[in-house]
Amino acid sequence: MYKVLGVSLILIFLPVCASFGDPSQEQGFLFDAGNSVILTGGPLGLAHNTNLAIVGQKQSMDDPYHLTTAIQFEKGMLLQGAFAGGMDGIFGVGQAANVFGGQLQALNGSLGIQDQLLNAQFGQEVLRIDGIGAALGVQGGIFVQGQVLVSPYGASTNVNYFGLGQTDSVAGAP
């Protein structure tokens, strides 16, 4: 008897409580990428490696009670490439990239909150010890975030973006 009553109360009150809530949405991404090649000794050799990571997200929400609409999106691409070639030596490339993005939109009657964060850290090294040859490392990315909030009280837009690239190379003979 109590279980049936409890379920009935939840079904009755859940839609009523949900209609009083203030809508919010948040999204984020994290790229934690590493890429490397190493070529050691031997008469002649070639090594290469490539990483490609892409993110694309979109969210939207409507609050018909407050006549408010909110949209946000995140898009980005990270590319890493490492190449080493030579003979009778040690050649290598090491790459690390950490890219984080996050967004938040919240509505509370006439108040709209928008927050964005983009952060990137890149590291790269190339190596040539003895021998004849070369090592090349290339990494880069482009990332963009956008937010739009429209209500009877006004409109707000936020855009956050960056592009970056890094190249290192070494070549030579003994």
How far apart are the C-alpha atoms of 71 and 56, rounded to whole Å?
Answer: 14
Using alpha carbons, select from 125, 71, 80 the residue that is nearest to residue 99.
Answer: 80
Beta strands in the chain (DSSP E): 24-40, 45-63, 68-87, 90-108, 111-129, 132-151, 154-172
Cβ neighbours for 58, distance < 8 A, ≥ 6 positions apart: 71, 72, 73
pTM of model > 0.95? no
Taking only Cα atoms into account, the Rg of the chain, rounded to an integer number of angstroms, comes to 26
Tell me the pLDDT tens digit for each residue of 97-123: 999 999 999 887 667 789 999 999 999
Mean pLDDT across 14-20? 39
Q: Residue 21: its pLDDT value, please?
A: 62
Q: What is the pLDDT of residues 22-32, one digit of tens each?
A: 778 899 999 99
